[in-house]
Amino acid sequence: MITILKDGTITSTPGFQAAGMTAGIKESGKKDLSFVFSEEPAIAAVALTQNKFRAAPVDLCAKFIEQDQHRGIIINSGNANACTGDEGAANALEMCEIIAKEMNVDTESIFVASTGVIGKQLPMDIIRKGLTQIPTKLSREGGNEAAAAIMTTDLTAKQIAVYFEIDGEIVTISGMAKGSGMIHPNMATMIAVLTTDANITKEMLQKSFSASVNTSYNMISVDGDTSTNDSAFIFANGKANNPLIDGNSDAYIAFKRALDTVNQALAKMIARDGEGATKLLEVRVEHARSLADAQSVAKSVITSSLVKTAIFGEDANWGRIICAVGNAGAEYDPSKVQVFIENGDIKVQIVADGSGASFDTELLDKLLKEDTVTIFVDLMNGGSTATAWGCDLSYDYVKINADYRT
């Protein structure tokens, strides 16, 4: 059984400390420097953006992941350090070097991530000062501050921690994430950091993390834009007493299930907090010929601007939904497709056998007014299932992004 910890943070995992502070990168005076540190050497796994314009920190992390041991990650918000050339690469490395020196660890054991405006050089005089101060603020109670310091246009911090048993031993997985705009399913569409005390090999940690990302962060979309800085990290310090997970065992399955719980919860928090969003949109596809087909249909519906605006307008325009299903490129018989709008135990069928169905308009209007709207698409063509998460598209999305730099 997986139990969600009340008020869980990134430091709910034994052996990890964190801190968040205001360095002065943001003119608002809000927290903008975050540090997560493992008290003991840990192993790590990552998932990085597929955008060809990768930010300097992303390129550096792609090199550092080759190390056998890692100790933590430093993250700044307010500046993406993307499209900044050689100077940006040097600045990303210097951030790691300063933290490593302060903590007396190897430079390559420290990851770095940045989020914010693209195309500006980091204010290194400000950052250098912050980097020498933040290690003194580390604590096992610092999770909330660390999560706050990575926010940009986010309205809320995104955190979760769970515990579960492996062979009678308690294991914890905790996570924090940021993301509100530039969210699109193409890994990882945000920044996320997870910690665990599971005793697991680096190979199996990377295998489980990559698979989990595919069904969580890769299945969310706010606006169809994959960022230059998308990154997700997990650190495992091995402090739990479970037998080493080194293969596809029952212990691995239990760990992966808990990992999915954390990643999918964070993914849904990001989708719900989409810029200007008023509703969380969930699209569940069942009975697809393959997982790829199920995912392509779910993503097609979740990314459709016409579907998203219809959900914002609480408009039962099922034609937009079926159009998005048809654009997915999946294999199925259109004359067998069924579509429903759901919320909890209440379900209204809007498409029956590929055509419009008769439905209770008053009940459907009530469902569309809820803050969570679920679209269920049954392809009637196999045994695969996928779920994607997104949000509606409102007037405020345009306002937020039109004024982002000004």
Q: Give the residue numbers annotated as catalytic, written as ranges.
A: 189
Task: Answer yes or no: is 152 a known binding residue.
Answer: yes
Task: Answer yes or no: is 406 a known binding residue.
Answer: yes
Question: Do 12 and 141 form a contact (C-beta atoms < 8 A)?
Answer: no
Dihedral sign for Cα 127, 130, 135, 141, please: negative
Task: Answer yes or no: is 145 a known binding residue.
Answer: no
Intra-chain end-to-end CA distance of the chain, in Å: 48
Question: Do 382 and 390 form a contact (C-beta atoms < 8 A)?
Answer: no
Task: Answer yes or no: is 87 a known binding residue.
Answer: no
Question: Do 226 and 182 form a contact (C-beta atoms < 8 A)?
Answer: yes
Distance CA 96, CA 74 (A): 7
Distance CA 30, CA 45 (A): 30
Beta-carbon contacts of residue 67 (< 8 Å; ≥ 6 apart)? 106, 108, 109
Known binding-site positions? 152, 178, 189, 275, 401, 406
Known binding-site positions for substrate? 152, 178, 189, 275, 401, 406
